[in-house]
């Protein structure tokens, strides 16, 4: 096991009780000793529901008017395009929205917030995203209010998205795009072996002769079952462009000829997908160790939920590739580094006239007259950025297979650096960093196996709110600013010596339940990490906690404890573990501990404890592991709960 995720080791906790903030009373110290001494023998109880929180003060004014909240929607009235008809590409699913709370917000508090609007949340895999079911036709009003809520990171419609297609292998001579991007040269170093490409689309024709041998199990998020058959034909075309069998004497050739295909259906039978389907698919694939995902749909980068899910995959060493769109116009889709939007080029390296362009475009690839697989076990040529993105996904798979130990961010930067510069010198809104060059990209990563790029520069992080000297109570919004030369992948909020929240997606923001901290002075520090493991601490903010004191004549009731993250299922790479607890005698008297397979990982005090579990080291085996949470109140009453997860390597 890795060392305890806090400044004190287990021996310090056992020999120096004051190492945990707030343990000022003898009963509290004794409780911690009993907690650490008996947790290994404690029974594994089922997760218990938490009761609603009581907040003793209104949220700070700054939180209700924060720039972060304003950025979700500029005013109460929603943008006109949000009311467009489905045929206009901007209609949303009725009775459903997407919500992400601030890291650290107790589960019971989120439930209470959403209950006010009749909302019923369902968590998306191991991420911090929720699909919230609402009474139909209330979405606009609820989003307008949640966008200004001080403890909600963002809320957005579940928009529909449309696919970006313009309606010895015998067809290989038709595949002009393969020699154009240098695929034959790349194949000398890599065939994409041991890499799986997730195709988030309309499904894939699994018995197609050029795809059948490549298929691995996927999931259908529209019908919530394992049937990933193609319902519109789009997904089969996309899958073939990325990874159709090659040199098998039939059909067409794909870019990553030995990579596997994971079909993830996110659309209805007419081929329209949703932002919730995209978020679900990305998280599901990432939790199963998939490192490449393709989404050939319009405007994906403009979804906060899709960007959140793409960052989730990127944090697990993966990359997400999306289509730029086929309007032929300047588009103002959100610029992001969480995914790679790809524009389309022709056989003469010109911009395809119908290819969308704008500041969001990061790369370009062939997209005109691309011969690929089609449903009905057939083949044909197709146009659209729908094929530029899977061609790029195939190149990334070749790169990852050529250098399996290379970080995804280094793969990405090499992809950009080796692209053929088209248009204006350097990056431009039509071609991004240039047209993808598989041969140069694969050769570059293959040659750098022994010389990885080293990042030694730590992030910079500052707590913006609350200010030092402030008096706080109840739920407290904590606003921060975190930057890095490459990118921040995780931030942690520490209150005294307890990690109360972990946030892994931008915009980084926390909710601190001050009910779990004794009244008096409390120190807040935020720790930020980048992908290279460099870390830095923020300024220390000292606040005064002033909550109502709860008294109980005789405390014989154990705390209620719940593991919020992760849920039972697959996990990989860095896993956020979050525990919530409450007690009838007050949350500030609770001592918490987290164990992995009986080994202590983290301890703290209060109502929330959150930590990071790195499953990548060899000492963490693939397969089933038990996460256990133990809570003990000041009277010595103890409760435990556990969850089993499957570590995917």
Tell me the pLDDT tens digit for each residue of 399-438: 999 999 999 999 999 999 999 999 999 999 999 999 999 9
Please identify which residue in the block is written with the tokens 């570059």: 444
Q: Report residue 119 as tokens.
A: 């909302």
Contact 45, 641 (CB under 8 A): yes
Segment 68-99, tens digit of pLDDT: 333 332 222 333 333 333 444 458 999 999 99
Whether 472 and 535 share a structural domain: yes
Q: What's the rounded Cα separation, in Å, for the pair 484 and 536?
A: 10
Whether residue 90 sits in one domain with residue 225: no
Active site annotation includes 584: no
Instruction: State pLDDT tens for residues 508-567.
Output: 999 999 999 999 999 999 999 998 899 999 999 999 999 999 888 888 999 999 999 999
- Above 70 in pLDDT, residue 457? yes
In a domain, 2, yes or no: no
400 and 529 in one domain? Answer: no
- Which 8-state DSSP code applies to residue 52? P
DSSP 616-628: -STTS-SEEEEEE
d(CA 317, CA 374): 31
Three-state secondary structure call for residue 306: helix
User: Where among 424, 446, 468 does a domain terminate?
Assistant: 446
Q: How sure is the predictor about 61, in pLDDT bands with cuts at 50, 70 and 90?
A: very low
Q: What is the pLDDT of residue 421?
A: 97
Does 128 lie in the same domain as 91?
yes
Distance in angstroms (rounded) separating the CA atoms of residues 227 and 298: 24
**pLDDT, average across residues 312-328:** 96
Question: According to the model, what pLDDT value does residue 214 have?
Answer: 95
The domain total for the chain is: 4
Confidence of residue 486 (pLDDT cuts 50, 70, 90): confident
Q: Which two three-digit tokens encode residue 555?
A: 């405390």
Q: Same structural domain for residues 364 and 251?
A: yes
pLDDT band of 451, cuts 50, 70, 90: low
User: What band does 63 get if pLDDT is binned at 50, 70 and 90?
Assistant: very low
pLDDT at position 84, please? 33
Query: Per the confidence metrics, is the pTM higher than 0.85?
Result: no
> Which pair of structure tokens corresponds to residue 236?
């089969």
pLDDT one-digit tens code per residue, 138-162: 999 999 999 999 999 999 999 999 8
Helix (H, G, I), strand (E, B) or coil at 331: coil
Structure tokens at 179: 């020699």
Percent of the chain's residues with pLDDT above 90: 79
Instruction: Assess whether 527 and 413 both reside in one domain.
Output: no
CA angle 172, 178, 180 (to 5 degrees): 130
Per mean pLDDT, which range of 55-64, 303-312, 366-375 is the poorest? Answer: 55-64
> Do residues 442 and 405 both lie within one domain?
yes
Which residue is catalytic, options 128, 201, 484, 587? 201
Q: How many CA atoms lie within 13 A of 111 on its CB side?
A: 11
Distance CA 176, CA 184 (A): 12
Phi and psi of 152, rounded to 5°? -110, 125
The last residue of one of the domains, among 411, 446, 481, is: 446
Catalytically annotated residue among 149, 151, 159, 234:
234
Dig out the tokens for 260 from the structure: 């596997």
- Taking only the tens place, the pLDDT of each residue in 589-629 is 999 999 999 999 999 999 999 999 999 999 999 999 999 99
The position carrying tokens 């120096």 is 16
Considering the domain boundaries, does residue 4 fall inside one? no
Q: Which of 410, 428, 417 is nearest to 487 (CA)?
A: 410
- Mean model confidence pLDDT for the chain: 86
CB 170 within 8 A of CB 210: no
Residue 606 has phi, psi (to 5 degrees) of: 110, -160
Of 64 and 87, the structure prediction assigns the larger pLDDT to 87
Whether the CA torsion 146, 147, 149, 155 is positive or negative: it is: positive
Asked if residue 265 is part of any domain, the answer here is yes
In Å, how far from its chain's centre is CA 138?
Answer: 27
For residues 393 and 400, what is the distance between their CA atoms, to the nearest angstrom? 11
Query: What CA–CA distance (Å, rounded) separates 502 from 315?
Result: 13
402/261 same-domain check? yes
pLDDT digits 0-9 by tens, 166-191: 545 455 456 799 999 999 999 999 99
User: Would the CA dihedral through 262, 263, 266, 272 be positive or negative?
Assistant: positive
- The boundaries of the domain holding residue 331 are 172-446
- Confidence (pLDDT) at 135: 95
CA 170/CA 158 separation, integer angstroms: 43
Identify the weakest region by mean pLDDT among 80-94, 227-241, 255-269, 302-316.
Answer: 80-94
| pLDDT over 50 (residue 572) | yes
Q: Assess contact for 12 and 6: CB atoms under 8 A.
A: no
Q: In angstroms, rounded to a whole number, what is the distance separating the alpha carbons of residues 240 and 197?
A: 11
Q: Are residues 215 and 141 in the same domain?
A: no
Q: Is 361 contained in some domain? A: yes
pLDDT score recorded for residue 611: 98
pLDDT for residue 447: 85
Rg of the chain over Cα atoms, rounded to whole angstroms, equals: 25
Count of positions (residues) in the chain? 649
Which stretch of 85-89, 101-105, 200-204, 511-515 has the lowest confidence by average pLDDT? 85-89
At 452, the pLDDT band (50, 70, 90 cuts) reads: low
Predicted confidence at residue 455, as pLDDT, reads 87
Are 501 and 558 in a shared domain? no
Same domain, 519 and 634: no
Greater confidence (555 vs 3) lies with 555
Q: In terms of domains, do 266 and 329 share one?
A: yes
265 and 107 Cβ atoms separated by less than 8 Å: no
421 in any annotated domain: yes
Buried b (16+ CB within 10 A) or exposed e, 227-258: ebbbbbbbbbbbbbbbbbbbeeeebbbbbbbb
- Provide the CATH number for the domain around residue 534: 2.60.40.10
Whole-number Å distance between alpha carbons of 506 and 3: 27
- Is 201 inside any structural domain? yes
The whole-number pLDDT of residue 449 equals 60
Whether the predicted pLDDT of 60 surpasses 60: no
Q: Select from 105, 130, 161 the last residue of a domain.
A: 161
Range with lowest mean pLDDT among 58-62, 127-131, 341-345, 360-364: 58-62
CB 649 within 8 A of CB 572: yes
pLDDT at 281: 98
Q: Which of 386, 538, 572, 610 is catalytic?
A: 386
Identify whether 234 is a catalytic site residue. yes
CB atoms within 10 A of CB 107: 19
Average pLDDT in the 94-122 region? 97
Answer yes or no: is 451 within a domain: no
User: Active-site residue 210, yes or no?
Assistant: no
Give the integer Cα–Cα distance in Å for 281 and 649: 19
Q: Is 551 exposed, middle or buried (0-12, 13-18, 19+ CB in 10 A)?
A: exposed
Rounded to 5 degrees, φ, ψ at 277 are: -65, -40
CATH number at residue 150: 3.30.70.80
CATH number of the domain that 314 lies in?
3.40.50.200
In degrees, rounded to 5, the angle at the alpha carbon of residue 621 between the alpha carbons of residues 638 and 641 is 15
Buried b (16+ CB within 10 A) or exposed e, 627-636: bbbbbbbbbe
> Is 625 domain-assigned?
yes
Q: Answer whether residue 54 shows pLDDT above 50.
A: no
């Amino acid at each position: 096991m890795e060392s305890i995720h806090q400044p004190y080791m287990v021996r310090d906790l056992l020999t120096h009780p004051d190492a945990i903030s707030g343990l000022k009373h003898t009963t509290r110290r004794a409780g911690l000793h009993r907690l650490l001494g008996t947790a290994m023998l404690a029974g594994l109880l089922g997760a218990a529901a938490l009761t609603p929180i009581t907040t003793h003060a209104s949220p700070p004014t700054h939180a209700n008017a924060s720039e972060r909240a304003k950025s979700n929607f500029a005013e109460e009235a929603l943008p006109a395009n949000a009311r467009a008809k489905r045929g206009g590409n901007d209609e949303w699913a009725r009775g459903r929205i997407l919500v992400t709370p601030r890291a650290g917000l107790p589960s019971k508090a989120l439930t209470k917030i959403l209950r006010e609007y009749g909302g019923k949340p369902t968590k998306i895999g191991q991420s911090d995203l929720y699909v919230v079911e609402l009474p139909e036709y209330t979405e606009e009003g609820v989003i307008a209010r949640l966008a200004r809520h001080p403890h909600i990171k963002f809320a957005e419609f579940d928009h529909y998205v449309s696919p970006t297609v313009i309606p010895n292998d015998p067809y290989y001579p038709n595949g002009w795009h393969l020699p154009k991007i240098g695929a034959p040269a790349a194949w000398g170093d890599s065939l994409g072996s041991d890499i799986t490409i997730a195709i988030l689309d309309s499904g894939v024709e699994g018995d197609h002769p050029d795809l059948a041998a490549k298929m691995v199990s996927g999931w259908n998020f529209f019908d919530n079952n394992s049937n990933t058959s193609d319902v519109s034909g789009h997904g089969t075309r996309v899958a073939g462009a990325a990874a159709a069998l090659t040199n098998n004497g039939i059909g067409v050739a794909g870019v990553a000829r030995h990579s596997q295909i994971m079909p993830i259906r996110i659309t209805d039978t007419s081929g329209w997908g949703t932002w919730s389907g995209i978020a679900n698919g990305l998280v599901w694939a990432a939790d199963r160790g998939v490192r490449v995902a393709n989404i050939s749909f319009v405007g994906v980068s403009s979804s906060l939920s899709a960007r959140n899910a793409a960052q989730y995959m990127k944090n697990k060493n993966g990359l997400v590739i999306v289509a730029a769109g086929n309007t032929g116009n300047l588009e103002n889709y959100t610029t992001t580094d969480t995914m790679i939007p790809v524009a389309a080029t022709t056989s003469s390296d010109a911009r395809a006239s119908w290819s969308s362009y704008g500041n969001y475009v990061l790369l370009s690839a062939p997209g005109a007259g691309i011969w690929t697989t089609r449903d009905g076990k057939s083949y044909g040529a197709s146009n659209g950025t729908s094929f530029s993105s899977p061609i790029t996904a195939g190149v990334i798979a070749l790169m990852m297979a050529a250098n399996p130990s290379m970080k995804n961010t280094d793969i990405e930067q090499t992809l950009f650096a080796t692209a053929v510069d088209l248009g204006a010198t350097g990056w431009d809104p039509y071609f991004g960093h240039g047209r993808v060059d598989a041969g140069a990209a694969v050769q570059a990563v293959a040659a750098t196996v022994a010389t990885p790029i080293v990042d030694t520069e730590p992030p910079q992080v500052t707590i913006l709110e609350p200010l030092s000297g402030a008096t706080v109570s109840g739920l407290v919004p904590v606003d921060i600013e975190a930057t890095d030369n490459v990118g921040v992948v995780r931030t942690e909020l520490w209150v005294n010596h307890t990690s109360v929240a972990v946030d892994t997606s931008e915009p980084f923001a926390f909710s601190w339940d001050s009910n779990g901290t004794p009244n008096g002075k409390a120190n807040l520090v935020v720790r930020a990490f980048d992908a290279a493991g460099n870390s830095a601490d923020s300024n220390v903010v000292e606040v005064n906690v002033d909550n109502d004191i709860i008294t109980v004549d005789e405390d014989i009731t154990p705390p209620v404890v719940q593991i919020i993250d992760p849920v039972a299922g697959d996990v990989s790479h860095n896993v956020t573990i979050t525990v919530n607890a409450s007690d009838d005698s007050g949350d500030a008297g609770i001592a918490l501990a987290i164990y992995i397979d009986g080994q202590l990982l983290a301890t703290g005090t209060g109502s929330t404890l959150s930590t990071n579990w790195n499953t990548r080291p060899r000492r963490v085996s693939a397969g089933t592991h038990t996460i256990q949470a133990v809570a003990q109140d000041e009277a010595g009453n103890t409760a435990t709960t556990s969850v089993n997860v499957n570590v995917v390597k």
